[in-house]
Amino acid sequence: MIELKGIKKAFHQQEVLKRIDVKIEKGQVVTILGPSGSGKTTLLRCVNFLEQPDEGTVQVGDVTIQAQEAKKKEIISLRKQSAMVFQHYNLFAHKTVIENVMEGLIVAQKVKKAAARKQSEEVLAKVGLSDKLNHYPSQLSGGQQQRVGIARALALNPQVILFDEPTSALDPELVGEVLAVIKSIANEGITMIIVTHEMNFARDVSDHVLFMDDGVIVEEGTPDEIFTQPKQERTKRFLRRLSGEPDASLFTQPQYAEPEKKTNLLPKGVVKHVL
Ligand code: ADP
Ligand code: MG
């Protein structure tokens, strides 16, 4: 269904993806975890050629592209296979909720206006926004805006939906409603790749988990394998850090070492609170 083979990508000599191989079956929900800067967004963007890999092959559905020989026409057909949900929603501020969802259908898929409206109403009902069709994004909460982002992706009826940290920009109290919507879509059997820092959610919703660090997939497996019995030290350290447990290795690094006590260096008579 989705297969990435030998994907490499560099930005100005910096190797951001170092020979990545990923295989995802139809209907699977795959989450990607990893520290900031590890290449998660770049990998996701290679799936739809928003970033063109330097090397490797991308296959989504029945479209396969070899990075070095990619033609414009192939890239257009590859892009039609997927839809993306962004961290910052990326909605059109001057369009209403329903117009935001209709836009892709009319422009990219050449669907007639009346049919696009009907399809958009259906997906907006799925994400619980039937009462907000004629609102503008600025009149919605962040959670509602992201649900519009999800409806817009769903409306395109893609082979796969790519989520790039869909809840990272939200206030904590709004995260739950968005995760619930994503979960309900997952239960419908749509293939999804989700980059997230929401560990409980990832554990709950994923069929397969990838842990990335420094441009490579360090470890992958079922949620149980990754969360309960991770094998790699880097995975263990990442999970410990996220769960807020103290990480012994951190304290051996100079920036976390106990600060030198400077009190003795002060000339006599200087009061302590200057420190
Ligand atoms: P993540 O999503 O895991 O935080 P990214 O894929 O966004 O990681 O970035 C990986 C690395 O690639 C980072 O060092 C980032 O600065 C760099 N990078 C990403 N996109 C670009 C770009 N368009 N130009 C230059 N460097 C980039
Ligand atoms: Mg990112």
Residues with Cβ within 8 Å of residue 206, at least 6 apart in sequence: 29, 30, 31, 194, 222, 223
Neighbours of ion ligand 2 (CB under 5 A): 40-41
Instruction: Answer yes or no: is pLDDT of 265 > 50.
Output: no
Ligand 1 contact via 33 beta carbon (within 6 Å): no
Residue 215 DSSP code: T
pLDDT at residue 272 in the model = 41
Which pLDDT score is estimated for 261? Answer: 41
CA torsion through residues 187, 192, 197, 203, sign: positive
Top-confidence residue, 20 or 254: 20
Closest residue CA from atom 22 of ligand 1: 11
Q: What is the pLDDT of residues 166-177, one digit of tens each?
A: 999 999 999 999
**262: confidence class by pLDDT, cuts 50, 70, 90:** very low
Does residue 160 contact residue 80 with C-beta atoms inside 8 Å? no
Nearest CA owner, ligand 1 atom 23: 11
Confidence (pLDDT) at 189: 87
pLDDT tens-digit readout, 44-95:
999 999 999 999 999 999 999 999 999 999 999 999 999 999 999 999 999 9
Does 260 score more than 60 pLDDT?
A: no
pLDDT at residue 26 is higher than 90: yes
Ligand 1 contact, 37 CB (< 6 A): yes
